[in-house]
Amino acid sequence: MNKKNKILLLLLFVGLIALSSCSLKPLKNIQYKEFENMEDIDSDLIIVGFSQLGSESDWRTANTKSIQNALISENGFSLIFANGRQKQENQIKDVRSFIFQEVDYIVIAPVTETGWDTVLTEARDAGIPVVIVDRMIDTEDESLYAAVVGTDKHAEGMKAGIWLEKHLEKVKQASDASPDGSGTEYVEEDVNIVILEGTINSTAQIGRSQGFDDIAKNHENWNIIARESGDFTKAKGKEVMAKYLREFDDIDVLVSQNDDMTFGAIEAIQEAGLTCGVNGDITIISFDAVSRAFDMMEEGLINVVIECNPLQGDLISEIIERLENGEEVPKISYVDGKVFEAENASIDRIGRSY
Ligand code: GZL
């Protein structure tokens, strides 16, 4: 079916939805590009259906903007966006809607790793290439996707563990050189760690947990006394941290797998009458590096943030163009991230776009 007919079908589909809106529940969260008239439709546009997993965090907002800003008509694209609201069943419906509309490509940020084989087999059988972004899917069948664009979550978890090793070494050196000159023997005290995990079975939760654990297992005095999901949201992060603070009276370190959960945890810590961050009661390691996290590092409330770069739109656009031209593309492409510490936050944030 040529592009013109595809777009006619799309308009017919939209028209049917509009006419039947009184009876059918409109396909929620599906935003259609409005075409004034046929002349507005450039039949050479590459039509992309984008199933975003949700809008749960500042990181997700930046990721969505990056992709929407890259897949624009000036760059040769027509984007259909769907927000899955952090539910796999919504994303599966959205992907099926894209298949029905015979889009040219499907881009999906899968909320969790498992349960995608059936719907992605339907996409493959319909001849629609799929680009997985941000998080990964767990499948034996690599033919279900043409490419993956994301970040190395296991490496991010290891960076957090390595930072904590260095931080504790600095504390030890400061203790050994204690001002009273007594050369107090630094006792390898127990380091009590609590973890706020992201959405369970998401690549970010799996990778960051395994990466941190791979470092923690080398330290007998590191005690991970609690780990529970805050589902990457501020509200749930605050709720779980408040529970930790009720259960434990000696938390030394919080490892929070995204900044939004960290923001909630900081509120819980302060409401419990404790301090956090640089020279605080509780050392905080966070992930993402969104703008508000830099604000909090500048206030000394967060010690370190492990960056997970959400700006993936340009790379996705480039990969789709190469696929469209029949070129080979890497199966997995990672965007790099850095480690930002409170002491350097004011300088490091200069020029950042999110
Ligand atoms: C990481 C991404 C995570 C972010 C969270 O790649 O999947 O999801 O760390 C977001 O902020 O909710």
Question: If DSSP states are collapsed to H, E and C, what string results for the chain?
Answer: CCHHHHHHHHHHHHHHHHHHHHCCCCCCCEECCCCCCHHHCCCCCEEEEEEECCCCCHHHHHHHHHHHHHCCHHHCEEEEEEECCCCHHHHHHHHHHHHHCCCCEEEECCCCCCCCHHHHHHHHHCCCCEEEEECCCCCCCHHHCCEEEECCHHHHHHHHHHHHHHHHHHHHHHHHCCCCCCCCCCCCCCEEEEEEECCCCCHHHHHHHHHHHHHHCCCCCEEEEEEEECCCCHHHHHHHHHHHHHHCCCCCEEEECCHHHHHHHHHHHHHCCCCECCCCCEEEEEEECCHHHHHHHHCCCCCEEEECCCCCHHHHHHHHHHHHCCCCCCCEEECCCCEEEHHHHHHHCCCCCC
Say whether both 192 and 303 belong to one domain: yes
Residue 85 belongs to a domain = yes
Residues 249 and 116 in one domain: no
Residues 132 and 164 reside in one and the same domain = no
Sign of CA dihedral 240, 245, 246, 250: positive
- Same domain for 211 and 122: no
Weakest-pLDDT range from 3-7, 55-59, 194-198: 3-7
| 287 CB near ligand 1 (under 6 Å) | yes
Computed over every residue of the chain, the mean pLDDT equals 89
The pLDDT assigned to 172 comes to 85
What's the CA-to-centroid distance between 231 and ligand 1, angstroms?
A: 10
Q: Domain with 111 in it: what CATH number?
A: 3.40.50.2300
Residue 134 is predicted with a pLDDT of 98
Is the CB of 204 inside a 6 Å radius of any atom of ligand 1? yes
pLDDT value at 38 more than 70: no
CA of 63 to the centre of ligand 1 (A): 9
pLDDT value for 174:
82
Q: In this predicted model, what pLDDT tens digit does every residue of 41-55 receive, in sequence order?
A: 456 899 999 999 999
Across 160-169, b (16+ Cβ under 10 Å) vs e yields bbebbeebbe
Residue 243 and residue 193 share a domain: yes
Domain-embedded: residue 221: yes
pLDDT band at 10 (very low <50, low <70, confident <90, very high): low
Does 126 share its domain with 31?
yes
The identity of residue 303, as a single letter, is N
pLDDT in tens, 142-171: 999 999 999 999 999 999 999 999 999 998
Closest CA to 307 of 85, 115, 84, 153: 153
| Residue 21 Cα to ligand 1 middle (Å) | 34
Residues 127 and 7 in one domain: yes
- Is the pLDDT confidence value at 287 over 50? yes
Pair (139, 161) in one structural domain: no
> What domain count does the chain have?
2
Residue 41 confidence (pLDDT): 47
Ligand 1 binding pocket mutation candidate from 232, 261, 306 (most atoms within 8 A of CB): 232
pLDDT more than 70, % of the chain? 85
pTM score, whole prediction: 0.86
* Ligand 1 atom showing the smallest separation from residue 134 Cα: 6
Domain residue limits at 233: 153-175+187-308
Query: What pLDDT, on a 0 to 100 scale, did the predictor assign at position 21?
Result: 39
> Is residue 28 scored above 70 in pLDDT?
no
Q: pLDDT tens digit string along 68-91?
A: 999 999 999 999 999 999 999 999
Arithmetic mean of pLDDT, 86-114: 98
**CA 195–ligand 1 middle distance (angstroms):** 16
Together in a domain, 11 and 130 = yes
